[in-house]
Structure 1
Amino acid sequence: MTRRSTALSAAVLALAVLGVALVVVPRVLPPGPRPDFQLPVTCGETWILGTYPGHDDFDIDFFPAKGSAWGRPILASYAGRVAEAGVNGTLGSRTPDNPKGPHGSGAGYWVKIDHGGRWETQYLHMLEPPMVTKGQRVRTGQQLGRIGSTGKSGAPHLHYEQRAARQKQEAHFAGSPSGITTDTREYSVRRKSTNCPTPSP
């Protein structure tokens, strides 16, 4: 091999390594500080946060402590940009008028929000198409949709997740851990929402 071809091969290899680094490095960067997430439900209401075996660690199902879940507002738990909004899987046909209808698959109507710093939240099983669209900026407490039972859902509820660098995390609300950490057993906790409108100055 000539000196020129050796130099050319080295240059190509260096560019290849640089290209891989540019693709890989952003994916392995650690997440930024955890945002001040709030419960994704109406200010002042008490909700039951639950899980069960096979649900997946850190996933939370929200049910109201009082009254029906159908149609309750789903709120952004922190400000950010809508990364996904629409249908995941199939919808099924469970509605308030037909609550025992065939269920679908996946998340049904859902929203994913990018909060920056490699943090995101997900909101699944909405009753109807989301009230927000992909790319839209949302504020903390802004309504994203209403609770339903689309997708693979046995009853009306909100399935909620917090993720950092694409990995599920124990959800924190108003600075405190939720207590939902494992899916090895069925259990629940009660939390009161402080996702309240910010007073105007």
Structure 2
Amino acid sequence: MTTPYGTRTTDTRRRRSARRRVTWIVVAAGLVAAVAAVAAVAVPMLSPPGPRPLFQLPVPCGETWQLGTYPGHDDYDVDLFPLDGEPWGRPVLASAAGTVTVAGINGSLGGRTPEDPDGPRGRGGGYWVKIDHGGKWETQYLHLLEPPLVRAGQRVAQGEQIGLLGSTGASGAPHLHYEQRRGWQKVETYFDGEPSGITHDDVEYTVTRTSNNCPPAG
């Protein structure tokens, strides 16, 4: 014969057992979700990069610019200066189609403007943009004059304007600091299928290139 006390004890044990099963089910489901989330991030990161996009100079079609580097600039970094006309406010274009991942401020802006070109320097890249071109390829555009003309998550076409050339951040004069990256590493910049020749910052080096970042025909 089961006493009321014995019945309550049995019911309590059953409830505790049921709660434990529910807890383990929840924990297991959480672990499965966590593993799936890690795999979704890790697998693409471990996959090899795709083919290099046909990057173009990030300036308007037909313009000739000076590309250069200097000791201490960091390997593969490229500074672009126009050879003709006023540099402040020149259009900065996407080198290839992609998705904007960053559009904001890197470091601090400083106070160098067209009205006060010798104002205080800032830190870092100032106004900047990063674009993901797929296949682990990325470009970066630094020292823009004003807040970028694009926003994170926006899809941009090759040649679409993303900002204006300026001198925000740690910049001594209006120019565009530009990088191409494959995965986590900077690589030599290629424009219209040709290498720039800027691979290290051991010595000062400059070269001129004419932009083929032109609107599609037709």
Give the structure-1-normalised TM-score.
0.88
Q: Work out which of the residue numbers 68, 85, 88 in structure 1 matches 2:86.
A: 68
- 1:21, distance to aligned residue in structure 2 (A): 7.4
| 2:109 alignment partner, SS class | strand
Instruction: List structure 1 segments (4+ residues) > 3 angstroms apart after TM superposition.
Output: 18-21
Structure 2 distance, partners of 1:33, 1:64, is 29
- 1:29, distance to aligned residue in structure 2 (A): 1.9
Letter of the 1:191 partner, please give it.
R
Letter of the 1:125 partner, please give it.
H
- 1:19, distance to aligned residue in structure 2 (A): 6.8
Structure 2 distance, partners of 1:145, 1:21, is 35
Deviations 1:19-71 (A, max 9, x none): 79725443232210000000000110100000001111110000011223111
Q: In the alignment, which residue of structure 1 is the partner of 2:217?
A: 199
Q: In the alignment, which residue of structure 1 is the partner of 2:128?
A: 110
| 1:68 alignment partner, SS class | coil
Percent sequence identity is 65
How many pairs does the alignment contain? 189
Structure with the higher strand share, 1 or 2: 1
Deviations 1:56-89 (A, max 9, x none): 1110000011223111100000000000001111
Structure 2 distance, partners of 1:194, 1:66, is 17
CA RMSD of aligned residues (A): 2.0
Q: In the alignment, which residue of structure 2 is the partner of 1:83?
A: 101
Aligned: 1:146 with 2:164: yes
Deviations 1:155-201 (A, max 9, x none): 1000000001121010000001011111001110000000001123x
Give the structure-2-normalised TM-score.
0.82
Aligned: 1:53 with 2:71: yes
Q: In the alignment, which residue of structure 2 is the partner of 1:36?
A: 54
Structure 2 distance, partners of 1:191, 1:147, is 17
Q: In the alignment, which residue of structure 1 is the partner of 2:197?
A: 179
Q: Show the 5 A alignment for 1:11-26.
A: 22=39, 23-26=41-44
